[in-house]
């Protein structure tokens, strides 16, 4: 165990994800229940460099469980990515007598957390990213909520697509990972799914549209990950190549917002609590991970640089069910 009345700090970094507030709440209340002080660092690593610390109480996290975003705010810090920035951050944490730091974020955040660990700061990461591209965990906080948001939006688009007998290209987030597009396409019954991991040709998408038209289908839904192409460009190309009425929808940042799902609230609560317990037991350089139904620890190094491979069987299934 650490010294009496240890100080546990928490920050959120990188892109926001639904469920981050639930994770902060779990960190604060687990820390206080264990006899520790809880501190919040605002605006991620940039706020750390600006010494934006504030004490958090039980009441500080009241009413945040069902709120999207992060009340501690987040940012991306170029200063923190430098050797000087890392050294300054470590010095600030030592000056603040922080005994353990919980970093809630994704790949880039964990890379920074690892650097802090290497300079002697006790750190545990909590994976929260809507891309769900942290390979060390089955699921990241925010992924489930974002999927539900995309599926709801796709259902609404399908209503107007069918009414006007049109093809719609719906662009979702995912620059390097097509997991959101794949799962959303499978869950919402998309006719075609375009992801960066699988090469695609315009003529194949046209064939998909023609196949539906030939059996009397009134609409076509194409879901594309932003890393596989941009919706407006694809829509224009399809309209010309297939002689169809094609419209584009970019869901954009609406995918990040909204109240977290029950699954994400529970996952965030379990992970946030586990991170504090790991720190208080002397662990560092670790991240919380969901494996099967269990919350376990995995090395922070496995939290970045290793992405979930696309599950080909799910992609193949989606294409079969779209026939």
Query: Could you give the count of Cα atoms lying within 13 Å of 134 in the half-sphere of its Cβ?
Result: 34
The catalytically annotated residue of 16, 37, 99, 131 is: 131
How confident is the model at residue 306, as a pLDDT? 76
CA dist., res. 298 & res. 288, Å (int)? 6
Note the pTM of the prediction, 2 decimals.
0.94
DSSP state of 128: B
Q: Tell me the pLDDT tens digit for each residue of 106-125.
A: 999 999 999 999 999 999 99
Inter-residue contact 164 to 43 (CB < 8 Å): no
How confident is the model at residue 2, as a pLDDT? 44
Of 275, 273, 263, which Cα lies nearest the Cα of 303? 275
Q: Which CATH class is domain 144-256?
A: alpha beta
Of 39, 47, 40, 38, which Cα lies nearest the Cα of 14? 47
Phi and psi (nearest 5°) for 87? -60, -40
Alpha carbon separation from 233 to 18, 237, 247 (Å, rounded): 30, 6, 10
- E-strand stretches of 173-264: 192-194, 220-225, 246-250
Inter-residue contact 270 to 27 (CB < 8 Å): no
DSSP letters for 134-196: -TTSS--BTHHHHHHHHHHHHHHHHHHHHHHT-EEEEEES-SS--HHHHHHHHHHT-SEEE-T
* pLDDT under 50: residue ranges of the chain: 1-3
Q: Is 152 a catalytic residue?
A: no
Angle at 6 between CA 70 and CA 266, to 5 degrees: 40
- Domain borders along the chain are 7-142+260-303, 144-256
How confident is the model at residue 217, as a pLDDT? 86
Q: Tell me the pLDDT tens digit for each residue of 15-30.
A: 999 999 999 999 999 9
The architecture that CATH gives domain 7-142+260-303 is 3-Layer(aba) Sandwich (3.40)
CA dist., res. 47 & res. 53, Å (int)? 8
One fold for 7-142+260-303 and 144-256: yes
* Chain CA centroid to CA 153, Å: 18
């Amino acid at each position: 165990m650490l010294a009496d009345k240890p100080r546990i700090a928490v920050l959120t970094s990188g892109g926001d994800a639904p469920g981050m507030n639930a994770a902060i709440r779990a960190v604060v209340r687990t820390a206080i229940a264990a006899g520790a002080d809880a501190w919040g660092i605002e605006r991620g690593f940039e706020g750390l460099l600006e010494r934006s610390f504030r004490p958090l109480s039980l009441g500080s996290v009241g009413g945040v469980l069902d709120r999207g975003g992060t009340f501690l705010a987040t940012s991306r810090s170029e200063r923190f990515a430098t050797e000087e920035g890392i050294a300054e951050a470590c010095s600030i944490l030592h000056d603040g007598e922080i005994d353990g730091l919980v970093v809630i974020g994704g790949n880039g955040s964990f890379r920074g957390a690892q650097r802090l660990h290497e300079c002697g700061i006790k750190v545990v990461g909590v994976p929260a990213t809507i891309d769900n591209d942290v390979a060390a965990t089955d699921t990241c906080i925010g992924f489930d909520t974002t999927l539900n948001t995309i599926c709801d939006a796709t259902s609404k688009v399908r209503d107007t697509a069918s009414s006007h007998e049109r093809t719609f290209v719906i662009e979702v987030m995912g620059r390097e990972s097509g997991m959101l597009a794949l799962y959303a396409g499978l869950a919402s019954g998309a006719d075609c799914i375009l992801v960066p991991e699988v090469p695609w040709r315009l003529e194949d998408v046209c064939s998909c549209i023609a196949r539906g038209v030939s059996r009397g289908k009134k609409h076509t839904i194409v879901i594309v990950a932003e890393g596989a192409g941009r919706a407006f460009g694809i829509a224009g190309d399809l309209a010309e190549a297939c002689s169809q009425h094609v419209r584009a929808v970019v869901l954009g940042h609406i995918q990040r917002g909204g109240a977290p799902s029950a699954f994400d609230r529970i996952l965030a609560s379990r992970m946030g609590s586990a991170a504090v317990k790991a720190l208080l037991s002397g662990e560092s350089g670790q991240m919380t991970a969901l494996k099967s139904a269990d919350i376990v620890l995995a090395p922070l190094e496995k939290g970045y640089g290793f992405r979930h491979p696309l599950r080909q069987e799910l992609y193949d299934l989606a294409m079969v069910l779209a026939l």
